[in-house]
Amino acid sequence: MRQASDILTFPTAGQGLTEITGELAAWLAGTGLREGLLTMLCRHTSASLLIQENAAPEVRGDLVDWLDRLAPQGPHYRHDDEGPDDMPAHLKATLTGVNLQVPVLSGRMALGTWQGIYLAEHRSRPHRRQVAVHVIGA
């Protein structure tokens, strides 16, 4: 049994979904592991990780719009230390989650045909987000 870990950094353009599947696949390939389990953790409380459709861009827009309806900006939050998008971003990260696990088969993530891994930026302005990755296997 072997393992590898790292912290990858991804720029975001502000609120929206940034596909990071390719970068994760490249990192995984560099480990040389063929079978195992890949674990990912978004190291932030106002961003998250999702596995979602990667074919139709409308899906990403609809997801962002839906999350905005669930956690809208407004004066009704006590926590607004970093602006009006602060608390809604925390709620969206809570709803979508900050960690993922994906099996590794034949050296590749065992994602479905239309699945991609996305870093969800819930804040309005661009950020540099960190994702801790760990793979264990053979």
Tens-digit pLDDT profile for residues 40-75: 999 999 999 999 999 999 999 999 999 999 999 999
CA trace torsion 23, 123, 52, 2 (10° rounding): 40
pLDDT of residue 37: 98
The confidence score (pLDDT) of residue 34 equals: 98
> What confidence tens digit (pLDDT) does each residue in 67-84 have?
999 999 999 999 989 999
Q: Are 103 and 34 in contact (CB under 8 A)?
A: no
Residue ranges of domains in the chain:
2-137
pTM of the model: 0.96
Q: Which fold has domain 2-137?
A: Jelly Rolls (2.60.120)
Question: What pLDDT sits at residue 129?
Answer: 98
pLDDT on residue 108: 98
Per-residue confidence band for 98, with pLDDT thresholds at 50, 70 and 90: very high
Note the pLDDT of residue 41. 99
